[in-house]
Structure 1
């Protein structure tokens, strides 16, 4: 299994903090890349001692030789602990969202806390921003005008 194989969880293991790799703190932090390509630093805890925060996202992860694999994402606290036990997760990674939280992490947390849907109904997906137009260099524009 590759680190990009996180089933249904749009997070990819982006490694540890390079500056702390050799120190005791190196294993305490992990980067995850969200579906928008942004990297976020998470604190790493054992499944039995992860704290609970009101505005944070937890990721239950399993360690593999290729890196960590996200198996579940949702709120911190009892839900994360139950998911870690149920999925035999090795660690719980926690990211406190704060005031300027990344939209992809907010969406992921919102999906995990939604009430179950009736059978056959599709979830509402948030609208994706329109792609930005590609701008040509000024030198190209001058050549075309001539």
Structure 2
């Protein structure tokens, strides 16, 4: 296991190696980002970026998405795998953002992870990209490599 000093060195080295690292998902605000990341599970960013413009044109606000019929969302994202479940989650997370957060995407991990279809990885992407909080989006590949390097258990 790495010490805090070693972890800081790893983080700083990554910053120097990848100074222009950025999110590949096209979005204009935290709401579009949380939806795009939720849709990206088991799909490529390129495919999500082809689907989301039509989705956000049809439902440009969290309130509009919350009011949409699931079938309308499905028809706009059907090229993405697991689209039926993802459509339900997008509507449900939109409703929850409207009802529990006044239409504003929450900026804390616990509230983000409480949204339907949002797990730790999605929450970390939203925290780091939309809110500039230090957070790593860890998928199975990052986890495996991190364990091998001794960054985590």
What TM-score do the two structures reach when normalised by structure 1?
0.26
> Relative contact order (alpha carbons < 8 A, sep ≥ 6): 1 or 2 greater?
2
More helix by share: 2
What TM-score do the two structures reach when normalised by structure 2?
0.25
More strand by share: 1
